[in-house]
Amino acid sequence: MSGNIWVIAEQRESELKKVTYELIGEGRRLADEVGSKLEVVLLGKNITHLAESIGFYGADKVFVADHEALEKYTTDGYAKVITNLIKAQQPAIVLFAATTMGRDFAPRVAARVGAGLSVDCIELKLDENKSLLCKRPVYAGKALVWEAILTRPQMASLRPNVFRPARRDESHKAEVEKVPVEFAPGEIRTTVKEIIKGATGKVGLTEASIVVSGGRGLKGPENFYLVENLAEVLGAAVGASRAVVDAGWKEHAYQVGQTGKVVTPNLYIACGISGAIQHLAGMGSSKYIVAINKDPDANIFNVCNYGIVGDVFEILPILTEEFKKLLAES
Amino acid sequence: MNIIVCIKQVPDTTTKVRVGKDGKHIDPGGVKFIVNTYDDFAVEEAIRLKERFGGEVTVISMGPERVKEALRMCLAMGADKAIQLWDPAFEDSDPYTTALILSKAIQQLPYDIIFCGKQAIDRDTMSVPVYLAELLGLPQATLVVKLEVDPNARKFIAYRDIEGAKEVIEGLLPAVISTQWKLNEPRYPTLPNIMKAKKKELKELNAAALGLDSAQVGEKGSRVKVLSMELPPPRSKGKILKGDPREVCRELVRLLREEAKVI
Ligand SMILES: Cc1cc2nc3c(=O)[nH]c(=O)nc-3n(C[C@H](O)[C@H](O)[C@H](O)COP(=O)(O)OP(=O)(O)OC[C@H]3O[C@@H](n4cnc5c(N)ncnc54)[C@H](O)[C@@H]3O)c2cc1C
Ligand SMILES: Nc1ncnc2c1ncn2[C@@H]1O[C@H](COP(=O)(O)O)[C@@H](O)[C@H]1O
């Protein structure tokens, strides 16, 4: 058993996702604590060049599986390559991203190697036996549990935007090892026919460090530009309450809440949103919450760090302008 | 088509969570239980497929006595048969052992497609459907917002909700499909259908009937164990700004930059 700490990198279209740096940061911390190596597994097509940069962020070694069949993510493709590599190398701990991708294949890998997997974790620690303990939200964040992982290797997927990303240091270099990849015909049982890009902002809602959301207080879809303009100035993603989605102003992909996306940005700005329990379930763990609502008794004011009691039609244009001024200065 | 739907009974979304006496589970006092929100879409999609192509819908739930009520709701929506999987040995099953129990029941049935919700809104793991697909040796499509099924070609096309995009994948049946919000509009059970559902078959199976040893399931068989549960620290009441719009906006921008340091 190599006993090393592993990170499964996430890339799409040959671009490393921000969460990968967060995984490397946390993986490095664990590796230093147990005194083992940090190794990263990278899968895709024409992605070998990314290995060097992964080294700059603190990996000791990068396993690269660069293959035609891995160009687009498939459950079977990723699960096979990673399972075989784990069986051959026997890492102690494997970290995945708790993204739609990581959550789609990590349980397959865990089942195949007999590992325990804790998902969507927000904090990790090692006990006195260097065994991994994971903290994760349950009941949409209304409670938190600490979980022990009883079988080896120990696996965890980490919620994006929670862990501190690794810092770049160009003097740090990783060894690169190519992983042979081979698939029998039909072994990958699903084919990706198309990826239709949506429009929740240039950054994905769950990855964004700032989210600006609109609720029924906006009165109609024709006013949603007020939210979008503010988001644009801040480089933020746009979200919505379920009332907005049910009314058909925005697609479900925008919905924040218990039955929508769970977001944990540094800053969440709720505009004309009342703060129903199901909405709070989706954004209550944001670092800072700002609420703009004309009703001083709105529940959202009970959870916000800063609140403005006012009319969104009046406040949003001024706020957008003030942010623009500030960001132009700095 | 033989269609199977796995459903879980969970606390209602408005539940105020309190930690129970054992410090590991929620306090069940006063909790209202419902069919997991995402599983409604799974049941609805299954019934629609049956209405279109014929066949039978079987709903399965692993859980104690109270889950019968959830299964009856699904029968009232239009499912044909229900199976409750329960044994004291199943208590505290992790997602892997939950899927193992479900897989043993499903292996005793004919099936062309298996539906799950994308996520149970209590444990929030999104893992059971994937483990289930693996244990049954089937392909999967998770987070599905639109589904096309061709029973003759035994093919499916699934639109998946991924970060900032929809991914369209194609595969062969049988497969495990996990359903996301907006896949369809789940129907409400009507009163006559609720009455009719009482006469539909609801079978119970325990560990022995599933060929499972108590060491394989429940807390004993689990690979992940909950050590403790806590409530998140309460958010302290924030600063509320009132007054001249220009003034309050300037003040907010200043606070976000100087105090919160997030801009
Ligand atoms: C099973 C279930 C699941 C659910 N899941 C979700 C979920 O995932 N996400 C979610 O968001 N909801 C969810 N809900 C719905 C939730 O209960 C609320 O109904 C919803 O969040 C309300 O949306 P809202 O705040 O936009 O609308 P409202 O509650 O109508 O609030 C509008 C707010 O805007 C304010 N306002 C009005 N005009 C102005 C103005 N001119 N300027 C400033 N403020 C103004 C009002 O004071 C009010 O507070 C769920 C409900 C159920 C039953
Ligand atoms: N105890 C259970 N009985 C039947 N189905 C379940 C059970 N637990 C989970 N599932 C199914 O798996 C889905 C995802 O659950 P989870 O992985 O727990 O988030 C649910 O929406 C159900 O369809």
- Chain A (287-306) residues lying within 8 Å, Cβ to Cβ, of chain B: 287-290, 296, 301-306
Shortest-distance ligand to the CA of residue B102? 2
Residue B230 domain-assigned? no
Give me the pLDDT at residue B48, please.
98
Element containing residue A78 per DSSP (H, E): helix A75-89
The amino acid that residue A262 corresponds to is V
Residue B178 domain-assigned? yes
* B69 and B190, same domain (yes or no): yes
* B134 and B173, same domain (yes or no): yes
Checking if the pLDDT of A128 tops 60, the result is yes
Residue B229 domain-assigned? no
Please give the sequence-ordered ranges of beta strands (E in DSSP) within chain A, or none if there are none. 5-8, 11-12, 15-16, 38-44, 61-66, 93-97, 116-121, 123-126, 132-138, 143-149, 154-158, 175-178, 190-197, 210-214, 237-240, 267-271, 288-293, 306-309
pTM listed for this prediction = 0.94
Residue B16 domain-assigned? yes
Give every CB contact of residue A297 below 8 A, 6+ residues apart in sequence. Answer: none
* B138 and B254, same domain (yes or no): no
Shortest-distance ligand to the CA of residue A244? 1
Nearest residue (by CA) to ligand 1, atom 42, is A311
DSSP state of A2: -
pLDDT band at residue A206 using 50, 70 and 90 as cut-offs: confident
* Cβ separation A284–B235 shorter than 8 A: yes
**How many structural domains comprise chain B?**
2
Which class for B228: exposed (0-12), middle (13-18), buried (19 or more C-beta within 10 A)?
Answer: middle
The gap from C-alpha A12 to its chain's centroid, in whole angstroms, comes to 13
Ligand 1 first shell, C-beta below 6 A? A 215-217, 241-244, 255-260, 272-274, 276, 278-279, 282, 293-295, 298, 311-313; B 13, 37
* B258 and B167, same domain (yes or no): no
- Quote the CA–CA distance of B17 and B28 in Å, as a whole number: 9
- Quote the CA–CA distance of B74 and A11 in Å, as a whole number: 40
* B208 and B118, same domain (yes or no): yes
A208 alpha carbon – ligand 1 mean position (Å): 22
Find, in chain A, the residue whose alpha carbon is nearest to that of B38.
A259
User: Is A254 an 8 Å CB contact of chain B?
Assistant: no
Nearest Cα to Cα of residue A21 among A38, A39, A9: A9
Q: Looking at the partner chain, which of B38, B122, B253 has a beta carbon nearest the beta carbon of A326?
A: B253
Q: What is the mean pLDDT of chain A?
A: 95
How many of the other CB atoms lie within 10 Å of CB of B65? 9
* B156 and B84, same domain (yes or no): yes
* B212 and B262, same domain (yes or no): no
Residue B197 domain-assigned? yes
**pLDDT tens per residue, range A51-104:** 999 999 999 999 999 999 999 999 999 999 999 999 999 999 999 999 999 999
* Cβ separation A112–B134 shorter than 8 A: yes
**pLDDT tens per residue, range B101-140:** 999 999 999 999 999 999 999 999 999 999 999 999 999 9
* B187 and B251, same domain (yes or no): no
Q: Which domain holds residue B247?
A: 235-263
Residue B227 domain-assigned? no
The torsion angle over the Cα atoms of residues A249, A252, A258 and A264, rounded to 10 degrees, is -90
User: Is B230 an 8 Å CB contact of chain A?
Assistant: yes
Q: Looking at the partner chain, which of A107, A189, A201 has a beta carbon nearest the beta carbon of B131?
A: A107
* B216 and B261, same domain (yes or no): no
Residue B30 domain-assigned? yes
* B170 and B248, same domain (yes or no): no
End-to-end CA, chain B: 55
Give every CB contact of residue B25 below 8 A, 6+ residues apart in sequence. Answer: B19, B226, B229
List of chain B residues whose C-beta atoms are within 8 Å of the C-beta of residue A277: 13-14
- Quote the CA–CA distance of A286 and A268 in Å, as a whole number: 6
The amino acid that residue A222 corresponds to is E
Give every CB contact of residue A237 below 8 A, 6+ residues apart in sequence. Answer: A200, A201, A202, A203, A204, A205, A207, A208, A210, A211, A212, A231, A265
Q: Tokens 């269609």 label which residue?
A: B3
Nearest residue (by CA) to ligand 1, atom 39, is A217
Please give the sequence-ordered ranges of beta strands (E in DSSP) within A22-115, or none if there are none. 38-44, 61-66, 93-97
Checking if the pLDDT of A203 tops 80, the result is no
Q: Looking at the partner chain, which of A150, A266, A308 has a beta carbon nearest the beta carbon of B248?
A: A308
Angle ∠(A20,A175,A26) on CA atoms, nearest 5: 30
pLDDT band at residue A199 using 50, 70 and 90 as cut-offs: low
A249 alpha carbon – ligand 2 mean position (Å): 31
* Cβ separation A195–B228 shorter than 8 A: no
**pLDDT tens per residue, range A140-160:** 999 999 999 999 999 999 999
List of chain A residues whose C-beta atoms are within 8 Å of the C-beta of residue B159: 196
Q: Which domains does chain A have, with CATH numbers?
A: 5-178 (3.40.50.620), 205-329 (3.40.50.1220)
* B200 and B252, same domain (yes or no): no
Shortest-distance ligand to the CA of residue B36? 2
* Cβ separation A105–B130 shorter than 8 A: yes
pLDDT band at residue A201 using 50, 70 and 90 as cut-offs: low
* B104 and B149, same domain (yes or no): yes
Residue B242 domain-assigned? yes
**pLDDT tens per residue, range B38-71:** 999 999 999 999 999 999 999 999 999 999 999 9
User: Is B32 an 8 Å CB contact of chain A?
Assistant: no
User: Is A105 an 8 Å CB contact of chain B?
Assistant: yes
Residues A23-42, mean pLDDT to the nearest whole number: 98
- Quote the CA–CA distance of A163 and A180 in Å, as a whole number: 32
